[in-house]
Chains A and B, each alone.
Chain A
Amino acid sequence: MSANNEPNIVAFLCNWCSYAGADLAGTSRVHYPSNVQVIRVMCTGRVNPLYVMNALQQGADGVLVSGCHPGDCHYMEGNYYARRRLGMLKDLMEFVGVDPRRFHMSWVSASEGHKWKEVVEKTVEDAREAGSFEGFRRRQIDW
């Protein structure tokens, strides 16, 4: 959390649906909280579950992964892989004591600018409720 108690959230968005949806939110001038920082990947299938852990370890209070709706993946099945891998990760995180509200997965299509706003709001609200994350020993990589 920053000084003013705002959660810091890292989001991984697929290029084709969710990143485009977030762009559309911009073109439509939909306003939403600024806590979410986006890292663009080509497909949610690219998101190694370790990235999520890594983000939490590096200072994020919450992580969001968002891709195409099931069945709509630009690469046919990447989001199915993501759903499996990250679903398992979510269970594991809960098991090791990480508040599940810190990790969200969502499906936002290229036309869902408004949905993107809702997803951001929900993610931020949940992370805010979960509070600042100090659960992992900080391993700040000097990039």
Chain B
Amino acid sequence: MTDKPKVGVYICHCGINISSTVDVEAVEEFALKLPSVKVARTYSYMCSDPGQALIKEDIKEQGLNRIVVASCSPRMHEPTFRKAIQEAGLNPYFLEMANIREQCSWVHEETEEATAKAKKLITASVAKVRLLEALEAKEVDAEPAALVIGAGIAGIQAALDIADAGFKTYLVEKTPSVGGRMAQLDKTFPTLDCSACILTPKMVDCASHPNIELLSYSEVEEIGGYIGNFDVKVRKKARYVDFDKCTGCGECAAECRVANRIPNEFDQGMGKRSAIYLPFPQAVPAKYTIDPENCLYLSKGKCGKSPKCQDVCGAEAINFEQEDEIVEFKVGAIIVATGFDPFDASRKPEYGYDDYPNVITGMEMERLVSASGPTGGKVMISNGEEEIEPKEIAFIKCVGSRDESVGNEYCSRVCCMYTAKQAHLIRDKLPDANIRIYYMDVRAFGKGYEEFYDRVRRENVRYIRGNPSEIFKRGNKLVVKAENTLTSTPVEDEVDMVVLGVGLEPRAEMRKVMDLLRLSQSPDKFFLEAHPKLRPVDTATDGVFLAGCCQGPKDIPDTVAQAKGAASSALIPLARGKVTIDAQVAEVNEATCRGCGFCVEICPYTAIEMTTVNRFGHEVEVARVNEALCKGCGSCSAACLSDSIQPKSFRDRQILPQIAALGVLK
């Protein structure tokens, strides 16, 4: 650092967000007296064009070489101001932000205390900014390929868009078929398109697309690297069926000794399948899979004289010796589209889901009304004694949503509409049924939703406001106990069947993906986006994006929109072919490094290596940082015995003055 620091301090009013609690004029006056400070100004919106222009002019005219912006969180506008000072000819890293909004004016009520704290924060920023160094962001090549995890409608759409743009896309799906939950739906609100009719073509497209490599029945095991250069390891689970030989004819399933004995996941356990199975008729790829837990040969080592599936398979595709396969590849960007789990209705025991066969969930209802479902689309249900066609049908909404007692405060956004849809579908099939819907509120917010809700009410579906407290059995009927909160009357409603409008929850096994990609969860436990409004598909990990219900409950239109957003974000590094690597990485002072190698062991990214250098005629070992791998966490630095390895912008000599500055102001 040759030139003496000349600091400009810019204090933002943020409309009145800051200035109503922080006395910005007093802060300005205070800042002017701080060491090295040449200019201090306040402005209504520093991030606005005129606000930025103010800074740029001062840099040029007053010769400022260090800038402190006291405004919102650096997590919000650091990039904005870095860019601004760069445009004025300053190194973008000569910037420090004092967070006087999120961590000051918004959390303190008294002007006196908020102003005092703002002064301290600015002092610490000035102390640090004087010692910041010029840094150069580096560019490295980006691998022109993407990974999409999860092949529900979100993952399928994202993969198709990236592949259509001309980039190789690896689509990894955990189950034997793509399609996700949408494949299980019968018709879709509000237009009542048949789900399979609009989804199947897309499923087929993604399997046949020349740029898509579909890895079904597979899971991501390891992800290393960084944006532009992720190293991915995927485990393709053994299907025990030769993928290339299987023709999908289905003879094996028909002959299986445990045929029609195993609950079919796709039908929510209401239908039955064999141990060798295709999850559903339109499954893509149309290849059979043996479920090793239920296959007699694989679980017990014996299946009659010989496994029947093997005997009947003309293509000789059955292969009990098959093993898991590990596939490795590189990608430049990753989209997470792992979807949701329906709320487990057992967690509301008062509704008797575990006790009564005629209390079912919305997801089960989808299968029950589906022509390809376990009853062929006939609405038949057991009341515990016999199979009946229900006449009295009740829906209950908000089961597991907007309910603090189960830990879900949020609204699941689709249950109002799918309940209305299912009421309509039942009305179609059972014109004489009495249908009522117990609700707290009706949220029909999307395009065409209010109209659809009106239509369903006109179809003689009764809406009763009140959240049932209990369901119990009386004779062969179920009794729904509630209070009609519009008329303030208690209700005991005798019905033949209850459908629980279960909400959407994050996947139970999302933890693994979270750990692989260092993702966080928001309070609702879905994946956390980088910014709730402005970066809704980004995550805190560069190059990793979110699509669909893994980020929060959504209907299909919103899921598809977000998937397209995620695809276009993922395409940015791929299309540019380059990514900028953060400049705030660690650096070794080779003159003082003692070569102990502690840092090498500590680095979680294996970014540090020992190398031999010539120091005053002696060959000595010192540590050296690979800047492309280093992420700048600084764990190495806290361990270094000689303070020789230091993360740039977070060096001891940059942090200690901050500590000192805060102390002085005691």
B663 touches A55 (CB 8 A): yes
User: Which residues of A lie under 8 Å from residue B528 when comparing CB positions?
Assistant: 110-111
CA distance A23 to B656 in the complex (A): 23
Whether A111 touches B521, Cβ cut-off 8 Å, given contacts A42-B584, A42-B632, A81-B602, is yes
A42 touches B102 (CB 8 A): no
CB pair A78–B604 under 8 Å, yes or no, is yes
Q: Is B298 an interface residue (CB 8 A)?
A: no
Chain A residues, CB < 8 A from B108:
31-32, 34
Decide: A74 near B99, CB < 8 A? Known: A48-B652, A111-B523: no
Query: Does A88 sit within 8 A of B, measured CB to CB?
Result: no
In the bound complex, do residue B660 and residue A78 qualify as a contact, i.e. CB atoms below 8 Å apart? no
In the assembled complex, A43 has its CB within 8 A of some CB on chain B: yes
Which of A34, A45, A82 sits near B117, CB closer than 8 Å?
A: A34
| Set B74, B518, B638: member contacting A46, Cβ < 8 A | B638
Does B522 have its Cβ within 8 Å of any Cβ on chain A? yes
Q: Which of B106, B520, B639, B656 touches A109 (beta carbons < 8 Å)?
A: B520
Which residues of chain A are near B663, meaning CB under 8 Å?
8, 10, 55, 57-60, 140
Q: Is there an interface contact between A77 and B650, defined as CB atoms closer than 8 Å?
A: no
Partner of B106, one of A15, A29, A81, A111: A29
Residues of B contacting A49 in the complex (Cβ-Cβ under 8 angstroms): 638
Q: Are A34 and B635 in contact (CB under 8 A)?
A: no
Contact with B along A1-21 (1 / 0, CB 8 A): 110000010100001110110
Q: How far is A107 from B116 in the complex, measured between Cα atoms in Å?
A: 27
In the complex, which residue of chain B has the Cβ closest to the Cβ of A47? B638
18 additional A-B pairs beyond A8-B665, A26-B101, A78-B633, beta carbons within 8 Å, are: A1-B666, A10-B663, A23-B102, A25-B103, A26-B104, A26-B106, A31-B109, A32-B107, A40-B74, A58-B659, A58-B662, A59-B662, A59-B666, A82-B638, A109-B520, A109-B521, A112-B523, A143-B661
Establish whether residues A55 and B659, one from each chain, have CB atoms under 8 Å apart when the complex forms. Answer: yes
A15's nearest neighbour on chain B, judged by CB, is B75
Please give, as numbers and ranges, the residues of chain B lying within 8 Å of A82 by CB-CB distance: 638
Interface mask (B83-112 → A, CB under 8 Å = 1, otherwise 0) = 000000000000000010111101111000
The residues of B with any CB-CB pair to A shorter than 8 Å are 35, 73-76, 99, 101-104, 106-109, 113-114, 116-117, 120-121, 124, 127, 514-515, 518, 520-523, 528, 540-541, 584, 602, 604-605, 631-635, 637-639, 647, 650, 652, 655-666
Which one of A8, A16, A32, A47 lies within 8 Å of B666 (CB-CB)?
A8
Q: Does A54 touch B at the CB level, under 8 Å?
A: yes
Closest chain A residue, CB of each to CB of B582: A42
Partner of A58, one of B109, B121, B660: B660
User: CA A55 – CA B657 in complex, angstroms?
Assistant: 10
CA distance A76 to B514 in the complex (A): 11
A residues sitting closer than 8 Å to B (CB atoms) are: 1-2, 8, 10, 15-17, 19-20, 22-27, 29-32, 34, 37-43, 45-49, 51, 54-55, 57-60, 71-78, 81-82, 85, 109-112, 117, 140-143
Contacting residue for A75 out of B127, B515, B604, CB 8 A: B604
Taking CB atoms, residues of chain B closer than 8 Å to A51 are 655-656, 659
In the complex the two chains form, what is the Cα distance from A8 to B659 in whole Å?
12
Q: Across the interface, which residues of B come within 8 angstroms of A76, CB to CB?
A: 518, 604
Q: How far is the CA of A16 from the CA of B633 in the complex (A)?
A: 11
The list of the 3 closest CB pairs from A to B, nearest first, reads A26-B102, A46-B634, A58-B663
Closest to A48 in B: B638
Residue of A nearest to B657 (CB): A143
Enumerate chain A residues within 8 angstroms of B660, measured Cβ to Cβ.
58, 140-143
**A31: chain B residues within 8 A (beta carbon):** 107-109
Contacts of B631 in A (CB 8 A): 75
Cα A117 to Cα B109 in complex, Å, equals 14
Complex contacts, A17 vs chain B, CB 8 Å = 520
A25: which B residues are within 8 A, CB to CB? Answer: 102-103, 107
| Complex contact A23–B103 (CB within 8 A) | yes
Can you spell out 10 A-B residue pairs with CB atoms less than 8 angstroms apart? A19-B75, A34-B117, A37-B124, A38-B99, A42-B632, A46-B634, A74-B540, A78-B635, A111-B528, A141-B660
* Cβ-closest chain B residue relative to A59: B663
Chain B residues contacting A58 (CB-CB under 8 Å) are 659-660, 662-664
CB distance from A55 to the nearest CB of B (A): 5
Interchain CB contact (< 8 A) of A81 among B117, B639, B655: B639
Q: With A and B bound together, what is the CA distance between A108 and B88 in angstroms?
A: 38
A19–B659 CA distance with the chains assembled, in angstroms: 17
Q: Which residues of A contact B633 (CB under 8 A)?
A: 42-43, 45-46, 74-75, 78
**Judging by beta carbons under 8 Å apart, are B604 and A77 in contact?**
yes
Name the distance in Å between A133's Cβ and chain B's nearest Cβ.
10
Quick one: closest A residue to B540, CB to CB?
A16
> In the bound complex, what is the Cα–Cα distance between A48 and B645 (angstroms)?
12
User: Which residues on the B side are within 8 Å of A47 (C-beta)?
Assistant: 638
Residues of B within 8 A of A72 (CB): 514, 520
Q: Which residues of B contact A22 (CB under 8 A)?
A: 102-103
CA distance A73 to B633 in the complex (A): 10
